[in-house]
Chains A and B, each alone.
Chain A
Amino acid sequence: MERVYLDNNATTMVDPQVSALMKEYETEKYGNPNSLHSYGMEVRQPMEKALDQLYKGLGASDEDNIIINGCATEGNNTVLKYYLFDQILKKGDKKSVIVSSVEHPSVFNTAKYLEKMGARVIFLPVNVDGIVTLDILKEYLNPEETALVSVMWANNETGLIFPVKEMAGYCRSVGVPFHTDAVQAIGKIPVDLQESPVDYLTFSAHKFHGPKGIGGLYVRKGMPIGPLLHGGEQMGNLRAGTVNVPGFIGMGLAMDLAVSQLDRELTQVRALRDRLEDAMARLPDVSILGKRELRTPNTILASFKGVEGEALAWELNKFGVAVSTGSACASESLETDHTLVAMNIDPSLSHTALRFSLSRFTRDEEISYVIEVLGKAVERLRKISIDY
């Protein structure tokens, strides 16, 4: 086995069909969609199609907006900073923003910035399962003060799924706008905006086998929003900058494929993940974070006692297996991942946690290989480790 990629929560392989489609719009049909001539003309229809695929994939209605942008970080910044500049600082009656304490840095650090600029930010704690529940949200939400709530749909580190539908429904009932970072949910679990009354939703193509550098922000009909990037008239004046046409078209197809193959994710990918997880659990002194039924079907966050995360990631990389670690030793700042801190787990676990994330391209024999080498890697490092 040459290499096995189990870091799909970081990024995914571009589906070959998507890649093939995009090529056409790089070397042949490379016009600017805002041009009047034939080069501009020929890309507009495929872009319309990509939009249709995105609207359909998310269950958006034609009155809603899906603003195509550069990445989910941009979408998250657009929403949070719109509320800062156009609501909190300008009107000033509602000054607080609620986010979860386990958000991805693109929400977490943006919220910190809002705090610095004068907003009051509440970081919601998680329960024993690592989840923000509706009850926790209700405890902290005050419709008189809260300008915006932002809670992720699924967590990048643990794969834990949050009750977004219930939280969004509650927020709607008390008149507070609700945003969700759905980057880790799309293509892994059903995301339907007909059913879940969220007002804003961000996504990124490279997490569901689309290209990097392209994403989108869904804005429900009637919800206020302004541009983060000012400039030209693209995206109905809501996102300036020449549209990344190949990325846009690729993302449309990637969404279409992700939604049509969702059943496979929920069955085949889940079965492979469960097989790997069961094999891990058979190794001595392994803990898996987060209940299986509460997680996206592709993710495992596991801790191997006595084995530091970066050392194990290194060891697995020698065998060609790519995984990621939230261990402080692997980060440039030496800081423990804030998700693990917020989950209040044993500090020694936070140094040993390793994330395995599969995709619909993960094959059965790859999982067999990972199971085989994981046992060897853990055994070798435990030989070196103290008290093991």
Chain B
Amino acid sequence: MAKKDLIGGKLWETYSNNVIERMNNPTYFGEISPEEADAENRRLIVADWGAESCGDAVRLFWLVDTKSDTILKARFKTFGCGTAIASSDVMAELCMGKTVDEALKITNLDVEKALRDTEDQAAIPPQKMHCSVMAYDVIKKAASLYKGVEMEDPEEEEIVCECARVSLKTVKDVIRINDLKSVEEITRYTKAGAFCGSCIRPGGHEKRKYYLEDILAEVRAEMDREKIKSIGSLETFEEMSPIAQYKAIEEIFAEKIKPILHRDGGDVEVMDIKKEGEETIIFIRYLGGCATCAAAGTGTLSMIDKVLKETAGPRVTARMI
């Protein structure tokens, strides 16, 4: 809450001119007839996403050249608000000329970016982002129809929000792609949780298998782990803040070192990280079986040291406290 939030009702003023132009005059709405596809190496794909009862539904038509997998022509029809029309229009435009695999890389963010007037000004308000997420979903659907594969991903079929028909996969994808940090953001992007609210956390009027709060926590944790894992080279480890360094080291211990020690009833904990000239010293303390093991200061220590050098970098050294 701040000055900009005090006067409500600003929805229509937040649309970019590009959005307004496409709402008023969409270029690519319409259908592609089976006759048009009735030629050699041509295939018509018709994909549906959403439902009128949820407020938004889109149908995407592709005319694909089967030799090169190139989308020659794309058209759409949509039941939805103006921004759904605008984002569908841009989506159709973005598909054309791309191969099916290239089209699959189009995300909700690409659609939104293409609708912007200027680089740093959002084209539509956050709560309207679900319209472009829908564009992304329908492309996936079209591609799977073209490739003749089912959307076999079990997460795709697992519906988290029944009201808005949002799948587990979609929720996980939007969290990752848009770096979402709150359930409110997920709701703005996907509509999940916007209606009965049962899927947000336990205690709603309906019991759910998955809850948005849990999914968010899980995906965020996964993302954190990946971030740490991606930091393998020396220069990035050196550049990290002390806290990030500590987290990265903890992660390395949890993933690669502790499981080995646990096998022999031992354990280890990270006590401190200190810089000594060019070197970063990781101070450790043994626990359990390792505390009394004769090899702890020799073979085990050099194993730990080797793992650290492989992951965090050659100038990282393990030392007993």
Q: Does B48 contact A (CB under 8 A)?
A: yes
A328, B194: Cβ atoms under 8 Å? yes
- State whether B59 touches A386 (Cβ < 8 A): yes
Taking CB atoms, residues of chain B closer than 8 Å to A310 are 81-82
**Bound Cα distance A308, B54 (Å):** 11
Q: Which of A34-61 contact B (CB under 8 A)?
A: none
Q: Check if B265 is an interface residue, CB within 8 A of chain A.
A: no
Q: How far is the CB of B19 from chain A (nearest CB, A)?
A: 11
A386 and B53 within 8 A (CB): no
Interface residues of B (CB under 8 A from A): 8, 11-12, 23-24, 26, 29, 48, 52-59, 77-82, 84-85, 127-128, 130, 187-188, 191, 194-195
| B194 contacts A308, C-beta separation under 8 Å | no
Shortest Cβ distance from residue B315 to the other chain A in the assembled complex, whole angstroms: 52
Residues of B within 8 A of A348 (CB): 52-53
Select one of B55, B57, B59 contacting A328, CB under 8 A.
B55
- Choose the segment among A166-174, A234-242, A331-339 that binds chain B (4+ C-beta atoms closer than 8 Å): A331-339
Is B85 a contact of A384 with CB atoms below 8 Å?
A: yes
Q: How far is the CA of A309 from the CA of B56 in the complex (A)?
A: 11
Chain B neighbourhood of A191, CB < 8 A: none
CB-based contact B195/A329 at 8 Å? no
Cα distance A309–B11 when bound, in Å? 14
B53–A384 touching, CB < 8 Å: no
Contacts of A306 in B (CB 8 A): 52, 79
**Chain A residues numbered 331-360 whose CB sits less than 8 Å from any CB in chain B:** 332-336, 346-348, 351
Proximity string of chain A (104-115) to chain B, C-beta cutoff 8 Å, 1 when within and 0 when not: 000000000000
Counting CB contacts under 8 A, is A276 at the interface?
no
**Most chain-B Cβ atoms within 10 A of its Cβ — which of A346, A351, A384, A387?**
A384
Task: Contacts A308-B56, A329-B81, A329-B84 known; list 12 others, CB within 8 Å.
Answer: A311-B81, A311-B84, A327-B81, A328-B55, A329-B128, A332-B8, A351-B52, A384-B26, A384-B29, A384-B85, A385-B79, A386-B52
CA distance A170 to B188 in the complex (A): 45
Q: Which residues of B lie under 8 Å from residue A335 when comparing CB positions?
A: 194-195
Does A314 touch B at the CB level, under 8 Å?
Answer: yes
B81 touches A385 (CB 8 A): no
A123 to chain B, nearest CB (A): 13
A332 touches B80 (CB 8 A): no
Offer 9 A-B interface pairs, CB within 8 angstroms, sorted by A.
A308-B79, A308-B84, A318-B24, A334-B191, A336-B195, A348-B52, A351-B55, A385-B77, A388-B79
- The interface residues of chain A lying within 8 Å CB-to-CB of B130 are 334
Tell whether A383 is near chain B: CB-to-CB under 8 Å: yes
| A367 interface residue (CB < 8 Å to B) | no
Complex alpha-carbon distance, A154 and B154, angstroms = 49
- Taking a contact as CB atoms under 8 Å apart, the answer to whether A386 and B78 are in contact is yes
Docked CA distance A311–B58 (Å): 14
Closest 9 CB pairs of A and B: A329-B81, A310-B81, A347-B53, A351-B55, A334-B194, A348-B52, A348-B53, A386-B77, A384-B29
Q: A294 within 8 Å of B by Cβ?
A: no
A residues in contact with B187, CB < 8 Å = 334
How many Å lie between the Cα of A346 and that of B54 in the bound state?
A: 11
- Cα-based distance from A388 to B57 in the complex (angstroms): 12
Chain A hits for B191, CB < 8 A:
334
Q: In the complex, what distance in Å separates the CA atom of A386 from the CA atom of B48?
A: 9
Residue from the list B79, B80, B84, B127 in contact with A333, Cβ < 8 A: B127
Q: Is the CB of A332 within 8 A of B11?
A: yes
- Contact across chains for A329 and B80 when beta carbons are under 8 A apart: yes
A311 to B19, CA, bound (A): 13
| Contact partners of B53 in chain A: CB under 8 A | 346-348, 351
Q: A122 near B: Cβ within 8 Å?
A: no
- B59 shortest CB reach to chain A, Å: 5
The reply to whether A383 and B55 form a contact with Cβ atoms under 8 Å apart is: no
Q: Known A318-B24, A384-B29; judge A333-B82 contact (CB<8 A).
A: no
Minimum CB distance partner of B184 in chain A = A333
Q: Does A330 contact B (CB under 8 A)?
A: yes
With A332-B11, A332-B127, A334-B187 known as contacts, the answer to whether A385 contacts B78 (CB < 8 A) is: yes
